[in-house]
Structure 1
Amino acid sequence: MKRLLLATTAVALAAGMFAAQPATAGRPHDLADLQILAINDFHGNLEPPTGSSGVVTTLDASGATVKVPAGGVEYLATHLKNARVGNPNTTTVGAGDLIGASPLLSAAFHDEPSVNALGDLGLEATAVGNHEFDEGSAELLRMQGGGCHPTDGCADPAAPFQGAKFQYLAANVVDTAAQKTVLPPYWVKDFGNGAKVGFIGMTLRGTPDIVTKSGIAGLRFDDEVTTANHYVSELRLQGVMAIVVLLHEGGVPVSQVYNYDCNAGGNLGLSGPIVDIAKKLSPSIDLVITGHTHQSYACSIPDPMGRPRMVTSAGSYGREYTDVRLKFDIDKNDIVQVTAQNKIVTRDVPKDPTATALVTKYKTLIAPIANRKLGYIAGDVQKAVSSTVETPLGDLIADAQLAATSAPDKGGAQIALMNPGGIRADLTYAQSGSEGNGVVTYAEAFTVQPFNNYVDTVSLTGAQIVTVLGQQFTGTNSGVAKKVLQVSTGFTYTVTGLLTVSDVRLNGVPLDPAATYRVSINSFLADGGDGFPELAKHTNKLVGPLDIDTFAAYMAANSSAANPYPVPAATRITFQ
């Protein structure tokens, strides 16, 4: 198999723009033009995301950085329709986390609106991601097969949920009792005229470390490379020689600019788990479509034979999609050329009427809850673009959880720790709606914290707390996966040199390794989630309120229209 690969990341704000395809000498003339449109990490963002989550960073013709407003399913559907014009041999696929960690508009209805919207816009298959397991494997199977929620019933009894119009794929997720995958491992798209492409779908093997353990009981998550290579052999035995992997695992490019050339100068400007995985995947795999890291890239990474192979990711929250063009040699029954380009889902196109009708329906249903005012902020309270720093919003959430659990009868918490991955969006000051600038509504707060975790208060020794802080930079959190826990007021420490922790203090007093402290953490962290196994060794757990309720109560008690909540300085952790 010979592949000619072209990666293009030039700015393409208008849907349908594409680089010209060069001819390849010596190739048979019987070629089929195929198109793959790919999305990842949509996370139920039906409405245009706000704050830093609602823009894409790019470069204009002069080389200046530009923030382009992007996203919203009404615009995404239009862009995908436009991209398909003139391309009859097309399919749309996903690389996981299309639901889960969703804003209230989708989450309040257990992501049924997003599953319906994705089916409406033409999605045909997607890999599962870790967030597809947020409500457990049984709920994921309901997303596929349909039916009313087992406890909440039907959102619309007159029109019960029918399930996904697309196929979920889970090649490396095995039900250990049944000894088979919980969902099909692959899907084959027949484009006609003999052109068939197999899609193998997987989540990252580290999924058990980043989801609630009860939701994945009885499941095994296998190695990505071993799994993919196994199913390559199975597909080839069926005569399917053109193969694409949909993998919910990714990397981090050197630049956050969306149109950064990650192969500039002959070097690979991409790091993270996907690099090693891609280098080991079978040479019979023609393309790897990825996700998980919420980054934008279209990089050439050599396969085990040293030949270039395209690896892509289209950011997150529906702000981008990847347009992949393939040349399929009918005689060879295989892909011989791959060109990929990420494109921005700009908001300057007409809204898709089907998507608009769906969004309007669920906005009407949720409006009484969504529009409830919780409090006021004095300016943008931002999360970080990475999980490696302290953030103003992290401080605010940690303080809210400490306030809810510090009373002796509420847990007696002295410290609160919050995982950065649980903070999904900024709180923005400027508002486009009628509530007014600085107002924080329930819908906005839920978008920030969509997991409905309980806030637990547990006992840990000072030595255990120091171990926890070290786990921010070791184990599954080493390398590009570092996760800096957000900390409550009065708790300070320093990160020095090779990511070592020192000078840990509570209210100015050095932490005593032998003393016992009461620590407030969400229920996900209490299970050792996000690579913090030491937290699971806690004692004397007291289960507290839901995290969204602690936030609502804190904002009500500490802000008003006359005295909005000031933006935290984020100076509790010192980085040297």
Structure 2
Amino acid sequence: MTVSPRARARLSILALALAAAGCTTAPRGPVTLNLVAINDFHGNLEPSKYTYTSAATGKSETLSAGGIEALSGALAAWRKEDKDLLFIGAGDLIGASPALSSMWADEPSIEAMNLLGLRLSSVGNHEFDQGRKELLRQQAGGCDSPRPGKACRIMPNYGGARFTYLAANVLDSATGKPFMPAWRIETVKGVKVGVVGAVLQGTASVAVASAIAGLDFIGEAEAINRALPQMRAEGAQVFVALIHEGGHTATPPDQPACNDLKGGIVDIVKQLDPAFRLVITGHSHQGYLCKVDGRVVTQADAAGHLLSRIAVKVDPASGLVSDIDVRNVVMNPELFPADPKVSAFLANVKERSRAALARPLGKLGTPTVARKANEAGESPLGNLIADAVLAATRAQGAQIGFMNNGGIRKDLETSDAALTTNFGHAQAVLPFGNTLVVLDLTGAQLRRLLEQQWQRPSASGATILQVSQGLTYTWDETRPAGQRLVPGSLKFMGAPVEDSKTYRVVANNFLAEGGDNFPEFARGTNRVDTHIVDLDALSDYIAKHPGAGGANAGLAPSTRIDKVRAQQ
């Protein structure tokens, strides 16, 4: 059969087309996916003090690090190297924030993450601080908020997060399904990356009970593994777990492949499906680059002090990961010039906030009232806050004040040589806006409450409550848990506490609902939420007590809590 010239031409064109198509589908070499991770930002729009031991020098380094300007500079520089860079987070982006963010319902921090190009983040326990409704508003936008005095005040048309929060292990109690997305797939350089997020299963112990009503927190590994077949069904090839739970290590934060990681995250990682080669963590506020059962487990400290740079080499055809290289990079503002848009945004927030933050409250007795505790567990700032909440509620019959260390986020500082402190400094100390609850406990309950300081979950150490003036006791760490109060040492106003007598106590609503693993508070009776905010109580106390915090400003010998010293 003869073929016409026109037919031969058509066949030639077809052959060229098929050859071209074959070129586009032919296997190509491994590609490198560049990820950058952040965790526990906590609304720190500005730099803050960061101290760490450098693996490179072996020396302790202290500098002002973090802040959205430095973050923007680093991300801009790295995106010039790889425009497909994926920026992700491991929770607590908001909550426990400085006043610059929290006074505006943390909307500036959400918008900052939008400007920085964040794509995905697991929820953290602090995302639940203001309740389920507020978290959903912060994700979706709008002004229907339980904090009408703060929401939509700096941005009248607050549009919400342009990144997606992930919460695989947070289930709606009514439906048994995740109340937010469990996972998302991001296509990077033609590779489908499945990212799943989870928060610590023990969130109920570190969140206000009413804020998480109607939600169940299941095992982190269980929920993450459950998401794996769903992501595979959608074509995911590489899998990343974002878990807001962490660990601790003595290894420097910039030392790769540490092998001494301890804490709650270790058992979780060991339960994960082998497909998860990369686990990005948070919650423990420590920087590390570790290996657990051959997997890479990272964390980037907190407050934006570090960013984790992660390079994943993968075969796009098979999805086989051949290498994961990780580095923690200190966010030194001097090394990363800011993106002008981010600088302009920060300047606007600061100008809008300036007058409120600078409002003077009164004079302290020392330049800094420290939150660091002495050997017995008592801190100068803890004493001051416990006294302040008691003073604010004496009219409701309160006799004893309590404060949890986890609620004290910063030292209380002064702003001038006259030792004046202002609203901004006080708000940085107590950023949650908790209200004060007055309730009755018997003397026997007081003993049980104090013994609960050492009856903690296995992953956590002792948590010593801060107490107001008038309550004193001695404890002995050599005695078994549940019996550490030295007999006869628990006294109120110098008299032994009587088991059958009723005492009126005050604590913030987080503690009053049994938070921080203190269930005895939740058993208190005659409960009254005074609706007095803890920050207002502290501010009022400072105004009425010039020189506040001075007597115990240093780590002086204990005056309220004492500890039996070991025999030498």
TM-score by length of 2: 0.87
Of 435, 444, 451 in structure 2, the residue corresponding to residue 463 of structure 1 is 444
Of 270, 285, 288 in structure 2, the residue corresponding to residue 279 of structure 1 is 270
Counterpart for residue 230 of structure 1: 226
1:55–1:530: structure 2 CA closer, same or farther, 3 Å change rule? same
Name the amino acid aligned to 1:33.
T
Counterpart for residue 47 of structure 1: 46
Give the 3-state SS of the residue equivalent to 1:270 in structure 2. coil
CA offset digits 1:307-334 (Å, max 9, x no partner) = x101111111111111111101123213
Q: How far does residue 215 in structure 1 lie from its aligned partner after superposition?
A: 1.8
Q: How far does residue 236 in structure 1 lie from its aligned partner after superposition?
A: 2.1
CA offset digits 1:499-558 (Å, max 9, x no partner) = 533232223333222221121211111111111111000012233321011101111111
1:447 aligns with 2:428: yes
Contact 2:403/2:507 (<8 A) preserved: yes
Residues 216-295 of structure 1 mapped to structure 2, 5 A cutoff: 216-254=212-250, 257-259=252-254, 263=258, 268-295=259-286
Counterpart for residue 507 of structure 1: 493
Mapped partners of 1:128, 1:524: distance in 2: 19
Mapped partners of 1:147, 1:322: distance in 2: 32
CA offset digits 1:264-306 (Å, max 9, x no partner) = xxxx42221101111111111011101011111111000xxxx
Mapped partners of 1:467, 1:158: distance in 2: 47
Of 106, 109, 118 in structure 1, the residue corresponding to residue 104 of structure 2 is 109
Of 520, 533, 541 in structure 1, the residue corresponding to residue 519 of structure 2 is 533
Name the amino acid aligned to 2:43.
G
Mapped partners of 1:38, 1:328: distance in 2: 19
CA offset digits 1:171-214 (Å, max 9, x no partner) = 11111224421111101110133x12111011111112221222
Mapped partners of 1:221, 1:347: distance in 2: 38
Counterpart for residue 62 of structure 2: 67
Q: How far does residue 237 in structure 1 lie from its aligned partner after superposition?
A: 2.7
Mapped partners of 1:291, 1:351: distance in 2: 25
Counterpart for residue 129 of structure 1: 124
Mapped partners of 1:234, 1:387: distance in 2: 50
Contact 1:254/1:262 (<8 A) preserved: no
Name the amino acid aligned to 1:329.
D
Q: How far does residue 35 in structure 1 lie from its aligned partner after superposition?
A: 0.9
Q: How far does residue 485 in structure 1 lie from its aligned partner after superposition?
A: 1.1
Counterpart for residue 19 of structure 2: none
CA offset digits 1:77-96 (Å, max 9, x no partner) = 21222233312331000000
Q: How far does residue 386 in structure 1 lie from its aligned partner after superposition?
A: 11
Counterpart for residue 359 of structure 2: 372
Q: How far does residue 479 in structure 1 lie from its aligned partner after superposition?
A: 4.0
Give the 3-state SS of the residue equivalent to 1:180 in structure 2. coil
1:413 aligns with 2:398: yes
**Identity of matched residues, %:** 39
Contact 1:424/1:448 (<8 A) preserved: yes
Contact 2:102/2:431 (<8 A) preserved: yes
1:186 aligns with 2:183: yes
Give the 3-state SS of the residue equivalent to 1:362 in structure 2. helix
Counterpart for residue 312 of structure 2: 326
Name the amino acid aligned to 1:161.
Y
The worse-fitting range, judged by mean Cα deviation, of 217-226 and 327-336 is: 327-336
CA offset digits 1:35-75 (Å, max 9, x no partner) = 110001111111223xxxx2132237553322122121111
Mapped partners of 2:412, 2:320: distance in 1: 48
Give the 3-state SS of the residue equivalent to 2:389 in structure 1. helix
Contact 1:56/1:319 (<8 A) preserved: no
Counterpart for residue 161 of structure 2: 164
Give the 3-state SS of the residue equivalent to 2:515 in structure 1. coil
Contact 1:60/1:66 (<8 A) preserved: no
Mapped partners of 1:388, 1:128: distance in 2: 34
Q: How far does residue 29 in structure 1 lie from its aligned partner after superposition?
A: 7.2
Q: How far does residue 140 in structure 1 lie from its aligned partner after superposition?
A: 1.0
The worse-fitting range, judged by mean Cα deviation, of 171-180 and 286-295 is: 171-180
Mapped partners of 1:421, 1:357: distance in 2: 33
Structure 1 runs of 4+ with >4 Å offset: 156-159, 385-388, 563-566
Mapped partners of 2:269, 2:123: distance in 1: 18
Mapped partners of 1:137, 1:156: distance in 2: 21
1:565–1:283: structure 2 CA closer, same or farther, 3 Å change rule? same
Counterpart for residue 546 of structure 2: 559
1:292–1:365: structure 2 CA closer, same or farther, 3 Å change rule? same
Mapped partners of 1:290, 1:387: distance in 2: 30
Q: How far does residue 261 in structure 1 lie from its aligned partner after superposition?
A: 6.5
Q: How far does residue 250 in structure 1 lie from its aligned partner after superposition?
A: 0.8
Q: How many residues align?
A: 525
Counterpart for residue 11 of structure 1: none
Counterpart for residue 393 of structure 1: 381
Mapped partners of 2:375, 2:106: distance in 1: 25
Q: How far does residue 351 in structure 1 lie from its aligned partner after superposition?
A: 2.9
Contact 1:119/1:166 (<8 A) preserved: yes
CA offset digits 1:75-131 (Å, max 9, x no partner) = 122122223331233100000010111111111211111100011011100001111
Contact 1:56/1:70 (<8 A) preserved: no
Q: How far does residue 158 in structure 1 lie from its aligned partner after superposition?
A: 7.6
Mapped partners of 1:466, 1:446: distance in 2: 32
Larger C-alpha radius of gyration, 1 or 2? 2
Contact 2:456/2:462 (<8 A) preserved: no
Q: How far does residue 164 in structure 1 lie from its aligned partner after superposition?
A: 0.7
Mapped partners of 1:99, 1:531: distance in 2: 23
Give the 3-state SS of the residue equivalent to 1:549 in structure 2. helix
1:99 aligns with 2:94: yes
The worse-fitting range, judged by mean Cα deviation, of 456-465 and 126-135 is: 456-465
Residues 116-155 of structure 1 mapped to structure 2, 5 A cutoff: 116-150=111-145, 151-152=148-149, 155=152
Q: How far does residue 362 in structure 1 lie from its aligned partner after superposition?
A: 2.0
TM-score by length of 1: 0.86
Contact 1:148/1:154 (<8 A) preserved: yes
The worse-fitting range, judged by mean Cα deviation, of 412-421 and 126-135 is: 412-421
CA offset digits 1:419-472 (Å, max 9, x no partner) = 11111111234x4xxx55632110111111011111222111111111111222
Mapped partners of 1:58, 1:438: distance in 2: 32
Contact 1:56/1:258 (<8 A) preserved: no
Name the amino acid aligned to 1:518.
R
1:473 aligns with 2:454: yes
Q: How far does residue 220 in structure 1 lie from its aligned partner after superposition?
A: 1.3
Give the 3-state SS of the residue equivalent to 1:271 in structure 2. coil
Name the amino acid aligned to 1:160.
N
Contact 1:382/1:393 (<8 A) preserved: yes
1:549–1:44: structure 2 CA closer, same or farther, 3 Å change rule? same
1:154–1:470: structure 2 CA closer, same or farther, 3 Å change rule? closer
Q: How far does residue 475 in structure 1 lie from its aligned partner after superposition?
A: 4.0
Contact 1:189/1:196 (<8 A) preserved: yes
Q: CA RMSD in A?
A: 2.4
Contact 2:385/2:538 (<8 A) preserved: yes
CA offset digits 1:355-386 (Å, max 9, x no partner) = 22222222222222211111223132222399
Counterpart for residue 346 of structure 1: 332
Mapped partners of 2:175, 2:347: distance in 1: 42
Mapped partners of 1:474, 1:566: distance in 2: 28
Give the 3-state SS of the residue equivalent to 1:299 in structure 2. strand
Residues 283-322 of structure 1 mapped to structure 2, 5 A cutoff: 283-302=274-293, 308-322=294-308
The worse-fitting range, judged by mean Cα deviation, of 228-237 and 291-300 is: 228-237
The worse-fitting range, judged by mean Cα deviation, of 503-512 and 389-398 is: 503-512
